[in-house]
Structure 1
Amino acid sequence: MVGFFAGLDELVRTSDVVVDRPRGTARPRYQDAVYPLDYGHLGDTTGGDGDGIDVFVGTATGAGVTGVLLTADVLKRDAEVKILLDCTPAEAELARAFLVDLGIGGHLVKRVSGSL
């Protein structure tokens, strides 16, 4: 059995990371909301909304999957996992706060060293 984070590592390793909203870009529907990190998805994957699995990409190059944000968007009536890739602890918090500001919220699950 593959552990949760090991499975995410494999998805990232075998997928293209597509950044379609670079850090500093305004969110299309909410122009006041500016992405604090690069944001996009993993190519050839399917997330909770039917699109690719969402990913926030930080600046800790080589750190890999550092955690996930679990979200529930009542207006869209969906729940998703957003991967935190190469994110420092401060960047993970920036991503979480961004989702809170959007009214989505997010529960941060940090990867603990050696966790599966």
Structure 2
Amino acid sequence: MQQELLNNGYFWQKLDSLVLSTNLVISQPKGSRHPQYLNMVYPVDYGYLSDSASMKVFKGSLKKSTVDAIMIVVDILKRDLEVKLIMGCTEDEEVKILRFINQTDYQKGFLVRRGNDLPEWALTD
């Protein structure tokens, strides 16, 4: 697959713009339990962007305001597919988020990390 299709720099730029122009509301602080599934403990802060329809965010311990990755999650109980933003997370925190999401048989997710390379078509003189 061509590099241009693997990491669209403009996609990540638009996500950053969305995050920077919207308030992040932390609804589940790190260490809190899921309101319905008490065995699930949030490994990092979890919340949502207040001005978006349904944008959920995992916020780690690093002081960053850019999106480092996205998580694509399918939930068979809710019959839904969600994209969750990952911001300011260490690699260890990303692994903990993956374990948190994938610990039940009812939802599964995978991580798409932001690359550092811009596609050739995005470079200008």
Q: Specify the TM-score bucket, using the shorter chain as the normaliser.
A: 0.7 to 0.9
2:71 corresponding residue in structure 1:
69
1:37 corresponding residue in structure 2:
44
More helix by share: 2
**CA shift for structure 1 position 62:** 2.0
Matching residue within 92, 95, 104 for 1:90: 92
Q: CA offsets, 1:48-103, max 9 Å, x none?
A: xxxxx000000111262110100111110110110001111221111111000143
CA distance in 2, matches of 1:62, 1:81: 19
Preserved contact between residue 17 and residue 41 of structure 1 (Cα < 8 Å): yes
Preserved contact between residue 63 and residue 87 of structure 1 (Cα < 8 Å): no
**TM-score normalized by structure 1?**
0.87
Matching residue within 105, 108, 111 for 2:111: 108
Which ranges in structure 1 are unaligned for 5 or more consecutive residues? 48-52
1:8 corresponding residue in structure 2:
15
RMSD, aligned α-carbons = 1.9
1:60 corresponding residue in structure 2:
62
Preserved contact between residue 5 and residue 115 of structure 1 (Cα < 8 Å): no
Alignment CA distance shift 1:44-1:55 (3 Å): same
**Whose Rg is larger?**
2
Give the 4+ runs in structure 1 shifted more than 6 A: none
Structure 1 counterpart of 2:94, which letter?
Answer: A
**Identity fraction in percent:** 35
Preserved contact between residue 20 and residue 65 of structure 2 (Cα < 8 Å): no
CA distance in 2, matches of 1:65, 1:115: 15
Number of residue equivalences: 111
Preserved contact between residue 19 and residue 65 of structure 2 (Cα < 8 Å): no
